[in-house]
């Protein structure tokens, strides 16, 4: 009976994760043909409303990023899909929020075959530059 008070607290913790904002990091993809790892710097901007997730993600150097589809946040679990002209279908992201870091996996396919990668993102600090 004494542990019943934990249930509302646990529910608050599970729904409290808000990933809205700007994130930067990388996606690491193993290149089996050369035996190396390709590390691509990426940026993301997420907008979370309740457990629904929208936003954009893409390479840091690209002007255009790709829209997130079917995004959901459940506790610390984050899932979404992204399509781009470079992919043969949707790239599926299965990520976990750990404080101000997001880690997880990306799976999809290119014209040359399947692709998997490790995703590493950190929350970008808010700009402290005064606005005119």
Domain that holds residue 55: 2-123
Tell whether 7 is covered by a domain: yes
What is the spatial distance between Cα 99 and Cα 7, in angstroms, rounded to a whole number? 21
pLDDT of 32 reads 76
Q: What is the pLDDT of residues 62-104, one digit of tens each?
A: 988 999 999 999 999 999 999 988 888 899 999 999 999 999 9
pLDDT of 127 reads 60
Question: Which pLDDT band holds residue 129 (cuts at 50, 70, 90)?
Answer: low
Question: Which pLDDT band holds residue 128 (cuts at 50, 70, 90)?
Answer: low
pLDDT of 46 reads 97
Tell whether 79 is covered by a domain: yes
Instruction: Determine how many CB atoms are found less than 10 A away from the CB of residue 45.
Output: 16
Tell whether 128 is covered by a domain: no
Backbone angles phi, psi at 24, to 5 degrees: -135, 155
Domain count, the chain: 1
pLDDT reading at 2 higher than 70: no
- Sequence-separated (6 or more) residues with CB below 8 Å from residue 59: 40, 41, 42, 43
- DSSP per-residue string spanning 16-78: H----EEEEEEEEEEETTTTEEEEEEEEEEEEEETTEEEEEEEETT-S--EEEEEEEEETTEE
Tell whether 131 is covered by a domain: no
Q: What is the pLDDT of residues 6-49, one digit of tens each?
A: 444 444 444 557 999 999 999 999 887 788 899 999 999 999 99
Tell whether 130 is covered by a domain: no
What is the spatial distance between Cα 94 and Cα 101, in angstroms, rounded to a whole number? 14
What is the spatial distance between Cα 9 and Cα 120, in angstroms, rounded to a whole number? 29
Q: CATH number for the domain including 54? A: 2.40.128.120
**What is the arithmetic mean of pLDDT over 102-123?**
94
113 versus 98: which is more confidently predicted? 98
């Amino acid at each position: 009976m004494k542990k019943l008070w934990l249930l509302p607290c646990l529910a608050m913790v599970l729904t409290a994760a808000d990933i809205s904002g700007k994130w930067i990091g990388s996606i690491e993809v193993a290149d089996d043909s050369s035996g190396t790892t390709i590390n691509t710097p990426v940026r993301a901007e997420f907008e979370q409303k309740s457990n629904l997730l929208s936003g954009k993600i893409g390479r840091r150097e690209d002007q255009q990023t790709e829209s997130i589809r079917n995004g959901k946040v459940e506790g610390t679990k984050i899932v979404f899909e992204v399509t781009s002209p470079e992919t043969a279908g949707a790239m599926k992201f299965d990520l976990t929020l750990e404080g101000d870091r997001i880690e997880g996996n990306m799976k999809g396919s290119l014209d040359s075959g399947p692709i998997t990668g490790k995703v590493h993102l950190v929350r970008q600090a808010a700009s402290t530059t005064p606005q005119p």
